[in-house]
Amino acid sequence: MPVPARSTARSAAVGAALLALTLATPAAQAAPLAPAGGPALHVDALRWVDGQPRLETRTATGSAAAARLVRTLDADPALSDAQVRTTYRLTPTGSTGLPPRRLLSTDPYLKYAYHLTAIDAFGAWPTTKGAGVTVAVLDSGVDATQPDLVGRVRSLGNFTRESDAIVVDHGTQVATVVAGAYGNGVGAAGVAPEVTILAGKVCERTGCASDAIVAGITAAVKAGADVVNLSLGGPDQNRTTAATIEWAQAQGVVVVASAGNSGAEGNLVQYPASYPGVLSVSASTTSGTAAPWAQHNDAVDLSAPGESVPAGSPRKDGRYAVTAVAGTSFSAPQVAAAAALVRAVAPAADAATIGGWLTGTATRQSWPGGYGAGMLDVAAAVRAARDAQVPPAPPAAPAPPATTPPATAPPATTTPAPVPVPRGRRALRPVPVVPTR
């Protein structure tokens, strides 16, 4: 695979880079310690080996030295997309504990899962629930013992410097919105309740460093992910992240990201949601209106419910709480799950085609601009993908003309012997006409 063209975006603001001073990833090349006298700034770049990105990291002392290092790395033809490291943030807006409910024959919190009806997830399940498809949740870590996920979580690894033992709620909640089991008498249900989760830890409690995100995306693609969910973001572009996402999309992987939650506070464009080809997801309220707090701009592709979505949490104090969560962090995984269901019925479709089915079947709304094509409609997207896999029926061929001559009266004195006609010599039905395209 050829090396992607170098990005033209310039380095992110040094202020954003300062947030990442203490962050690194085992996947990155070991960086030397910086001399005393200034802050250590990490500069990441991509080396392309056999068509795959390999993250490399250098360390500079101070912003001026970091800028010189970026120019030096950009001049190296073996490297691309050098930039001072960026730190993104997880994007929840809040959560509210739901009251404990006793075990029932169905999922006890399903009554709270209004979002499954709003996006018509139920209508897709007779066709597929996503078995055999994988969604990578690159987040704060996923508790694989969560009852709604148990047996369907595979670890991609920890790409941060934070301990695996630290698993905050966010990643597990995102994973259950994607893939929470249906009909197991626990929790609510995910939009794609039979998919497998590939769990990669790319976020610490202090943020999500761009080098960890790059390493997580690379690992997810190599592990066979069909979809990558990124419920994180920030206002700064990052060239290494953008180039790695572009590479993942070229491998057929659908990348979904949360649009952001500061729509009422400046409404700045957020990344990685706004990179080309990424499905950027905004949010609606519990009443079905556009969420004013969610990012709304021309980069948004579609929306999904983003308030009071029931989600399962990691184990704490001997129990697994179910929480009503809010934010585009939990709208995005609904779209990621829908992409997985579409991939289940159209396994050969590329990322752009799957994105087109999702946006093309979204329910149009009388909302203000900036919320994309409308509300996600899972069942309609699955139908569109399924119907596209069935070739159109060939047109009926005209009936052949009669070939039997008119009967004539035999001579009065002669009775002809019957002549058998082998069936193999007759066309029992017209030969189908194969349509040309």
Query: How distant, in Å, are the alpha carbons of 137, 183, 228, 288, 386 from that of 379?
Result: 23, 19, 21, 18, 10
DSSP 406: P
- Give Cα 232 distance to the centre of its chain: 13
Q: Which of 35, 77, 34, 81 is nearest to 56 (CA)?
A: 81
Q: Please list the active-site residues.
A: 139, 170, 329
Alpha helices in 75-139 (DSSP H): 114-118
Cβ(187)–Cβ(178) below 8 Å: no
Cβ(253)–Cβ(326) below 8 Å: no
Secondary structure percentages of the chain, helix, strand, coil, to 5: 25, 20, 55
For 97, the 3-state DSSP assignment is strand
Instruction: Return the structure tokens found at 223.
Output: 């592990």
CB contact set of 348 (below 8 Å; sequence gap of 6+): none
Cβ(328)–Cβ(281) below 8 Å: yes
Cβ(371)–Cβ(263) below 8 Å: no
Angle at the Cα of 304 (from 358 to 336), degrees rounded to 5?
55
For residue 272, whether the previous peptide bond is cis, meaning omega lies within 30 degrees of 0, is yes
Instruction: Return the structure tokens found at 99.
Output: 């009251």
Alpha helices in 103-196 (DSSP H): 114-118, 169-179
Cβ(280)–Cβ(299) below 8 Å: yes
